Amino acid sequence: MSELEKQIQIYYDTNKIIKAYHLAFYLAGWDSETGCPIGTIQSRSDALGTLSELGFKIRTSKEYNDAIDYLYEHREELDPVLKHEIIGQKEDIEDTKKFPIEEVVELSKLENEIHPVYVQAKLASDFNMFKPYLEKMIGFQKRKIEYISKDNQFNNYKGYDVLLNSFEKDMTMEEYDKFFGLLKEKLVPFIKKVTAKKLDYDREFTTKVYPKEQQAIMSEYLRDVMDFDRNYTILRESEHPFTSGNGNKDVRITTHYYEDCISSSMLSIIHEMGHGLYELHVSDEIDATMSGGGASMAMHESQSRFMENMIGRSKAFWDTHYAKLQSIFPEQLGNVKEDDFYKYMNEVQCSLIRTEADELTYPLHIMVRYEIEKKIFNGSVTVDELPSEWNRLYKEYLGIDVPNDKAGVLQDIHWALGSFGYFPTYALGSAYAAQFYNALSKDVDVDKAVRSGNLKEINAWLKENIHKYGSSLDPKDIILKATGEEFNPNYYIDYLINKYSKIYDIK
Amino acid sequence: MSELEKQIQIYYDTNKIIKAYHLAFYLAGWDSETGCPIGTIQSRSDALGTLSELGFKIRTSKEYNDAIDYLYEHREELDPVLKHEIIGQKEDIEDTKKFPIEEVVELSKLENEIHPVYVQAKLASDFNMFKPYLEKMIGFQKRKIEYISKDNQFNNYKGYDVLLNSFEKDMTMEEYDKFFGLLKEKLVPFIKKVTAKKLDYDREFTTKVYPKEQQAIMSEYLRDVMDFDRNYTILRESEHPFTSGNGNKDVRITTHYYEDCISSSMLSIIHEMGHGLYELHVSDEIDATMSGGGASMAMHESQSRFMENMIGRSKAFWDTHYAKLQSIFPEQLGNVKEDDFYKYMNEVQCSLIRTEADELTYPLHIMVRYEIEKKIFNGSVTVDELPSEWNRLYKEYLGIDVPNDKAGVLQDIHWALGSFGYFPTYALGSAYAAQFYNALSKDVDVDKAVRSGNLKEINAWLKENIHKYGSSLDPKDIILKATGEEFNPNYYIDYLINKYSKIYDIK
């Protein structure tokens, strides 16, 4: 066995152990989210802490790190998947090494403190309560930028770009500015035209009750439509919908049924199945490595939003499946025209809360957050000014007044988690989706495929062009391979303006 | 730190890791039984295998075993709980050491092969298919007896006693013979009298449909009645009911709803809550050690059967709760007299299948198995003769003809798992329960306590006298402490004859 083979073996053997620990955390997380006894969460934290220490020891063992160093030195001799993986691992290790141990200890302390304070502050709609902790967190982010950008052998990113790159590889302010600039220029005036109008349809059905048991029947029907393989997936209920996966043979989604709203659970299930299909379709060879899962947050979000918005809210989809929905809810929908239901599924309204926003106004919510984060890291806004800056931007882009901080600057948990640079990936995901949609349309008659009643053909294209690679390629490379060009936000703008011009009859 | 303190620390620190691995297996097991994607069970077996290896390495590490050796040498200096625990650990280690590695490898191979063969043989009702594997398994058990009994520093058990002791400490043929002898003498003729009669009641309600959703309402009601703390417990559905626990803060039970049978799920939930209360009531100090959980299989079974049979099938219980059941099933039970329902819950019938047997005839099923196992290990029956011996004993004790091996010698999985010596603990559990019941009755007005609508008072007695000790005492010591005397099977015989003489009006 050559030294290279030996080091590869060490790397693979250690990954096997890391994956075994990962399974334990995956199962514990799923169990916590889907109904373990409330009182056990505290009692088992010791055991989880022990497993976490054991996993940490393995990941940081000299043998493993030496193997990664050796393989990084010899990266040109590796197959492309392993080479890509080792570069990522090496970069992670080098980044981690740059943090002084005092910083790590202090951050861990802050993370423990900030979460309950954030929850309380949001409940009380009191930004001042949260402020000192947020200041500390932002301070840490600024030092993080300094640590990582100093003597960086992998890239030259500075400032906020360091954070943006950590969530979406090689996406920087330069590219996001172009993207959000276009949104501001084209979308803000268009949305003003749209929201000046009101869709004309009878809203009585939106006030009816849709019992959970019947909604669950529709969920199972949608699993068939989406070709979401029951052998490797389950659907459960939880407080907030999410997708959880452990490799391409175990993907779990949840939903939450609201009996006063027929659209919520259907759209969230379609959204989560979009995430889930990505995980399921990673090729077995890639799944066996550490390059499984999705290529990035934005790539993942592109797949869920593609399914939710471009398929699940499309005319073709409801032309095909509305009769089924009517048959499940004959009393509530029996006399409701499909066209009215379609309008309801695509109604646009400027609103306060990001997570409840419609497809068209959603990116404006992200734009507000992106602009604020930019200002935080170029020093042109203080933490004190965040609420007023937030409210000013909501007025400017969405035309609405923010009544309090709970519905304003405190609405999202991301900053409390230290996730700065994360928000833009949400909008980016939708834009990727539109570009993929355009490429898909050249190979597949999407309208016909949707009307076939089953998404097999569309899924096959997504698998072949995106999903099968897992995270073995960078997002930019996947986009280039799948669409033949670099990321281009115009597809997204065109898609939105085209779709909503029709629905709102705007010339 | 003294050497003793140092070794105790090593012992505790290692147990912390062993418990952490245990949590991972606990969660994986629960997940498998309650609805993970079917297709993932195979795919995650590698990761579970890795965790299992890691756990095995820790348990068999020199440091841990040296600590146990040291503590065993110094056992007189330890507190009683730790002393008891270390003796058990030392005995386990010494027993394990006695097996030549070739035996361990061969057994593991046999275990893998025998299970699918057993399942197939049972399906085909073909004992001959199973026979060669069963012969091998019995051969292994006989050699196991030789290994363990040779130079044993902990006890002098020989032959079948070695196996009996491994399932219930210090229970041997001498004691079981007394127990089953009494059953044969007193119970067999009594059961003949009982089954010669037929309970007189209108059985129409036993053919009605009892929808699952309504049964689930009754389940929640029963959780309240049993005072089964929702903070630390959950109830789910599974193919077969079971209890699963990980310490005294996480206890999970399952049930299976049969819509054509109203008694099945209620009794199984009460049974599983009996197991569950045992786990919940272990004191926190004991739970923190390796002496949590129940003291033995028979002790556990005593608690579940106490709740199921002595409480859950009692007149006081249904006097108190039948009106609630009627209110949940007004159409099915509205016009059914409580007395008829009580008769239905306690009807006796000689039947073929152990797991479906009623309270009175159940021990006869166990007696058949005990007699056969005795003969296997004293060499007075060959494997060839097992089916005919089985059928002969069913005819003798239960008066019924066994139509085929599926309903006969192949009905239980225990022998395929190598669990010889296990069956007697089932009957022993019921007998323990009767002795505990008698002791409880001296301190608590059981009838009044049951009629109070909530089992708090009874639970408190069980906790104080049995549950809180976990497995830190041997069953014999718990029985002596709780009842003031050694195990005495007469309580069981008296309880059964007294109860069923009333129900069947036998003078």
Could you list the mean pLDDT of each consecutive 10-residue stretch along chain A, which spans 507 residues? 97 96 94 87 86 92 97 97 97 91 89 91 96 97 96 95 96 97 96 95 96 97 97 93 95 96 96 98 97 96 97 98 98 97 96 94 97 98 97 96 97 95 97 98 98 98 98 97 97 97 95
Does residue A168 contact residue A475 with C-beta atoms inside 8 Å? yes
- Phi/psi-derived region of residue A379, left when phi > 0, alpha when psi is between -120 and 50, beta in every other case: left
Does residue B250 contact residue B241 with C-beta atoms inside 8 Å? no
CA distance B56 to B71: 21
Place of tokens 């066994």: B402
Place of tokens 């302010």: A173
**Chain B contacts in chain A segment 384-443 (CB below 8 A):** none
Q: What is the pLDDT of residue B200?
A: 95
Coil vs helix vs strand at B243: strand
- Kindly state whether A288 is in contact with chain B, defined as any CB-CB distance less than 8 angstroms: no
Q: Do B251 and A30 touch (CB under 8 A)?
A: no
- Kindly state whether A247 is in contact with chain B, defined as any CB-CB distance less than 8 angstroms: yes
Of A321, A230, A325, nearest to A276 by C-alpha is: A230
**Chain B contacts in chain A segment 54-113 (CB below 8 A):** 54
Structure tokens at A97: 């090494």
Q: How many secondary structure helices (H) and strands (E) does chain A include?
A: 24, 3
Positive or negative: CA dihedral B408, B412, B415, B419: negative
CA distance B41 to B27: 13
pLDDT in tens, chain B (507 residues): 899 999 999 999 999 999 999 999 999 999 988 888 988 887 888 899 999 999 999 999 999 999 999 999 999 999 999 999 999 999 999 998 899 888 988 998 998 899 999 999 999 999 999 999 999 999 999 999 999 999 999 999 999 999 999 999 999 999 999 999 999 999 999 999 999 999 999 999 999 999 999 999 999 999 999 999 999 999 999 988 999 999 999 999 999 999 999 999 999 999 999 999 999 999 999 999 999 999 999 999 999 999 999 999 999 999 999 999 999 999 999 999 999 999 999 999 999 999 989 999 999 999 999 999 999 999 999 999 999 999 999 999 999 999 999 999 999 999 999 999 999 999 999 999 999 999 999 999 999 999 999 999 999 999 999 999 999 999 999 999 999 999 999 999 999 999 999 999 998
Q: Do B23 and A232 touch (CB under 8 A)?
A: no
A236: phi then psi, degrees, rounded to nearest 5: -130, 175
In A334-485, where does DSSP find H-type helix?
338-345, 362-378, 386-393, 423-443, 446-451, 456-465, 475-483
Place of tokens 């699940």: A312
CA distance B479 to B309: 19
Coil vs helix vs strand at A233: strand
Q: What is the pLDDT of residue A271?
A: 97
Structure tokens at B235: 């109830």
CA distance A345 to A339: 10
Does residue A242 contact residue A272 with C-beta atoms inside 8 Å? yes
B483: phi then psi, degrees, rounded to nearest 5: -115, -10
Q: Do A20 and B232 touch (CB under 8 A)?
A: no
CA distance A180 to A186: 10
CA distance B479 to B337: 39
Q: Do A24 and B51 touch (CB under 8 A)?
A: yes
CA distance B57 to A156: 45
Considering only CB atoms, which chain B residues are within 8 Å of A51?
Answer: 20-21, 23-24
Amino acid B494 reads: D
CA distance A1 to A282: 30
Q: What is the pLDDT of residue A273?
A: 98
CA distance B128 to B125: 9
**B204-262: pLDDT as tens digits:** 999 999 999 999 999 999 999 999 999 999 999 998 899 999 999 999 999 999 999 99
Structure tokens at B214: 């309504």
Considering only CB atoms, which chain B residues are within 8 Å of A48?
Answer: 20, 23
Nearest by CB to residue A40, choosing from B38, B42, B250, is B250
CA distance A292 to B20: 26
Considering only CB atoms, which chain B residues are within 8 Å of A39?
Answer: 229, 231-232, 249-250
Residue B85 is among the residues annotated as catalytic for this protein: no
Q: What is the pLDDT of residue A34?
A: 87
Amino acid A490 reads: N
How many residues appear in chain B?
507
Whole-model pTM: value is 0.90
- How many CB atoms neighbour CB A490 within 10 A? 14
Q: Do B19 and A50 touch (CB under 8 A)?
A: yes
- How many CB atoms neighbour CB A110 within 10 A? 16
For residue A59, what are the contacts with CB-CB under 8 A and spacing of at least 6? A18
Residue A281: CA count within 13 A, CB half-sphere: 25
Distance set, CA B151 to CA B65, B123, B168 (Å): 20, 43, 21
Q: Facing residues of B245 across strands?
A: B251
**Chain B contacts in chain A segment 1-40 (CB below 8 A):** 16-17, 19-24, 27-28, 30-31, 35-40
Q: What is the pLDDT of residue A441?
A: 98
In B183-314, where does DSSP find H-type helix?
188-196, 212-225, 262-280, 284-287, 297-305
Roughly what angle, to the nearest 10 degrees, separates helices A315-328 and A338-345? 110
Place of tokens 């323990």: B432
- How many CB atoms neighbour CB A382 within 10 A? 12
**Nearest 5 degrees, angle CA A420-CA A421-CA A422?**
90
In the set B85, B168, B175, B272, the catalytic residue is: B272
Closest B-chain CA to A21: B51
